[in-house]
Structure 1
Amino acid sequence: MARVRVLPESARAPGRRETENALSLAHRMPRLVLEARRVAANLAHGIHGRRRAGTGETFWQFRPFVAGEAAQRIDWRRSGRDDRLYVREREWETAQTMWFWIDRSASMGYVSDLAQASKIERAIVLGLALAHCFVESGERVGMLGSMPPRATRQIAESMAQALVADRASREDDLPPQASIAPQHEAVLIGDFLSPLREIAAMVEGISSRGARGHLVMIVDPVEETFPFQGQAVLHDLEDGLSLRIGDAASWGQAYRLRIRQHREELQDLARRRGWTLTIHRTDRPASEAALRIMTLVATSRGAGIGGR
């Protein structure tokens, strides 16, 4: 049976008692920054830039003409060399802003022996790695409620410092209410175990002006499978409640059904708002989720597509 543990508050609350507790997130942050840079470096080999069509003067590519497009978009010189019609596309040259939020609430301290890292560490590594890649692509990165957008090559260190300094929101399991500009995007990383109505209100608030977003759900393998048997005690890490149950195995099927329904509702919410949903298990490499999110961001700018 998989063993689980919950990281102490000091391991989730950067900047608090780091001189007393060597497991504090502030103490581990340099290692997480290095890990994020390693993931970003690996990611660079999996993507070949994030150039995309848009307003600009620089030629990007020819692509086949699609029925329904305006005829004046056809490049007749290029089309004359083939039996197909082609459109000349220019490269998007306007920098956009990516907003990040990383969940540091109590439930993010959960980790089992099946995982490569705790949920909080994986969320931070993933967020810092993605931020680094976006800045390298010429975009600005900010953190909702704690850091204004910037385009520094030291973005991972800047975000790490912002996390360490931001003690006020370490128990918040959802990002602050904020309405971001239509051309901006949000990448929200957490376990999203809150009631759906609260998540929906948050999503509606952030996207109220037309901005897009990407939900990244961090999951420990044990949270998906519930492999427990016999006598057990269930702990609510957010509210501090406990429930002793007689036969854990009998709870498994109902638990897995509830988790599946919650995810389906999240998927539907993301699809209706033109957002994407990525589910990342902590027994998988962070680079897998990072590459998927980079791809979804690029795809969503061409058309609003929800992912899973």
Structure 2
Amino acid sequence: MARVRVLPEAARSPGRQATESALDLAQRMPRLVLEARRVAANLSHGIHGRRRAGIGETFWQFRPFVTGEAAQRIDWRRSGRDDRLYVREREWEAAQNIWFWIDRSASMAYVSDLAQAPKVERAIVLGLALADAFVEGGERVGMLGLMAPRATTRIAETMAETMVADRFSLDDDLPPQAPIPTMDEAILIGDFLSPPSEIAVAVEAISSRGSRGHLVLIADPVEETFPFAGQAVLHDLEDGISLRIGDAVSWGSAYRERMALHRASLEDLARRRGWTLTIHRTDRPASEAALRLITLVAASRGVSGARR
């Protein structure tokens, strides 16, 4: 039977338990930063020189109209040939902003002996690695509610420092409900175990101006399979409540069915908003999810040379 454990609160903000002085970040959280650098080094930098939607004069593509956008953006001639509304996008030559949110709430501290890393560590490594790759590709990277977009070559260290200094987000299991500009893109990384209706409110607020986005769901293998038998006690790490069950095998069937319905709700949310959903298990390499996200971001901007 798989063993599980929960990290202490300090571990969800690596470096918090160390000095808060202006020491080099590599002394406070070297393992995660170095791991992120290793993952980033393995990514294909197929995001250089890509065509982007924006305010230029050259036509790029038509895309479906998203609820919340200004009606004057609709191309009525193109829309008249179909049963959907379309927006005409033009090329954009400047750098684009990509906003990250990394869940560090209590449920992210979960880890089983089937996993390569705790969920929170995997989320941080994945976020830092992607940020490094995007900046290398000419983008600006920011953190929702925490850091304005920037294009420093030390973006991984800068984001890590921002998380270390942040004393207010450890209890937030949903991103800030702050809209981002139309041409920006959001990458939200977490376990998304909140009710789908609450997740939808946050996603719809972020994308209310028509921006694109990606949900990256981090899951421990035990959360996927529920490989328990006999009596068990389940603990809600967010609300501090517990549930004792007498037959874990029977209960596991209902659990997996409920989890499937939850995932289906997230897939429907992503589809309705024109976003993507990536499910990443922590028994798989971080590079797998990173490569998929690089591909999805490139594909969302119509890059013909993106890795498939």
Q: Is the 2:26–2:33 Cα contact (8 Å) retained in structure 1?
A: no
The percent identity for this pair of structures is: 76
Q: Is the 1:196–1:265 Cα contact (8 Å) retained in structure 2?
A: yes
Q: Is the 2:47–2:134 Cα contact (8 Å) retained in structure 1?
A: no
Change (3 A) 1:224 1:17: same
**Structure 1 residue 266 and structure 2 residue 266: aligned?**
yes
Q: Is the 1:184–1:212 Cα contact (8 Å) retained in structure 2?
A: yes
For 1:138 and 1:26, locate their aligned partners in 2 and report how far apart those are by CA, in whole Å.
24
Structure 2 counterpart of 1:284: 284
Shift in Å at residue 50 of structure 1?
Answer: 4.0
**Structure 1 residue 184 and structure 2 residue 188: aligned?**
no
For 2:286 and 2:93, locate their aligned partners in 1 and report how far apart those are by CA, in whole Å.
29
Q: Is the 2:108–2:118 Cα contact (8 Å) retained in structure 1?
A: yes
Q: How does 1:111-190 map to 2 (within 5 A)?
A: 111-190=111-190
Structure 2 counterpart of 1:201: 201
For 2:16 and 2:147, locate their aligned partners in 1 and report how far apart those are by CA, in whole Å.
19
Shift in Å at residue 18 of structure 1?
Answer: 3.2
**One-letter amino acid of the structure 2 residue matched with residue 41 of structure 1:** A
For 1:178 and 1:221, locate their aligned partners in 2 and report how far apart those are by CA, in whole Å.
32
Q: Is the 1:50–1:298 Cα contact (8 Å) retained in structure 2?
A: no
For 1:28 and 1:126, locate their aligned partners in 2 and report how far apart those are by CA, in whole Å.
18
Q: Is the 2:15–2:29 Cα contact (8 Å) retained in structure 1?
A: no
Structure 1: gaps of 5 or more residues: 20-24, 59-69, 71-89, 304-308
For 1:245 and 1:266, locate their aligned partners in 2 and report how far apart those are by CA, in whole Å.
27
Structure 2: gaps of 5 or more residues: 20-24, 59-77, 79-89, 304-308
TM-score normalised according to structure 2 size: 0.82
Change (3 A) 1:27 1:122: farther
Structure 2 counterpart of 1:230: 230
Structure 1 counterpart of 2:299: 299
Q: Is the 2:108–2:191 Cα contact (8 Å) retained in structure 1?
A: yes
State which of 31, 45, 48 in structure 1 corresponds to 2:46. 48
For 2:110 and 2:188, locate their aligned partners in 1 and report how far apart those are by CA, in whole Å.
18
For 1:207 and 1:165, locate their aligned partners in 2 and report how far apart those are by CA, in whole Å.
27
SS in 1 for 2:233: strand
For 1:236 and 1:121, locate their aligned partners in 2 and report how far apart those are by CA, in whole Å.
20
SS in 2 for 1:160: helix
For 2:30 and 2:294, locate their aligned partners in 1 and report how far apart those are by CA, in whole Å.
24
Q: Which has the higher contact order (CA 8 A, sep 6+)?
A: 2
Q: Is the 1:15–1:26 Cα contact (8 Å) retained in structure 2?
A: no
SS in 2 for 1:215: strand
**One-letter amino acid of the structure 2 residue matched with residue 229 of structure 1:** A
Number of aligned pairs? 267
**One-letter amino acid of the structure 1 residue matched with residue 158 of structure 2:** S
Shift in Å at residue 93 of structure 1?
Answer: 2.2
Change (3 A) 1:57 1:199: closer
Shift in Å at residue 300 of structure 1?
Answer: 1.2
Cα-to-partner distance string for 1:42-84 (whole Å, 9 max, x where unaligned): 113xx434433357799xxxxxxxxxxx9xxxxxxxxxxxxxx
Q: Is the 1:51–1:91 Cα contact (8 Å) retained in structure 2?
A: no
SS in 2 for 1:186: strand
Query: Once superposed, what is the RMSD of the aligned Cα atoms?
Result: 2.3
**One-letter amino acid of the structure 2 residue matched with residue 7 of structure 1:** L
Change (3 A) 1:277 1:259: same
Q: Is the 2:15–2:28 Cα contact (8 Å) retained in structure 1?
A: no
SS in 1 for 2:249: helix
Shift in Å at residue 15 of structure 1?
Answer: 5.1
Structure 1 runs of 4+ with >4 Å offset: 25-28, 54-58
Shift in Å at residue 247 of structure 1?
Answer: 1.0
Shift in Å at residue 301 of structure 1?
Answer: 1.7
Q: Is the 1:52–1:92 Cα contact (8 Å) retained in structure 2?
A: no
SS in 2 for 1:197: helix
